[in-house]
Amino acid sequence: MLGAMIIGGLVAGFLCGLVPFFVGKNKGQQDLGTVALLVCAVCGMVLGILLALPAAIVFTIVIVNKASKAATGDNRLTAGVSPALPSSGDVCPKCTAKLEPEAKFCALCGNPRS
């Protein structure tokens, strides 16, 4: 009986985790979507849909917010505070990683230097 409850919770968590997984896949956040799927499955095993559903909702919100910030170029760490960055030619416009002077592509995300 306990095994059936654990399996049922795992299935419920997995089904809840499919929502943030596919949202992450569509928004270019595949890694975060995969983590959400696994976390929801584990949450489902622990407390069933009572924990897996809120986890799926939170992950979906985080993925959508992160994707919209990445699309607008808003990579601030906190609201209203912008980290000190080198001049615009030394920073990747996509991920804000520091670029080497001779680099033609970003070493972190592969974006071409502008």
pLDDT tens column, 41-91:
999 888 888 889 999 999 999 999 988 887 776 655 555 555 554 455 688
The full set of domain ranges for the chain reads 2-72, 85-114
What's the whole-number average pLDDT of the chain?
Answer: 82
| pTM for this model (two decimals) | 0.60
- pLDDT at 98 (0 to 100): 86
Task: Return the percentage of the chain with pLDDT > 90, whole number.
Answer: 32
Q: Which two three-digit tokens encode residue 77?
A: 């760490």
Tokens 């622990």 belong to residue: 46
pLDDT average, residue stretch 17-39 = 91
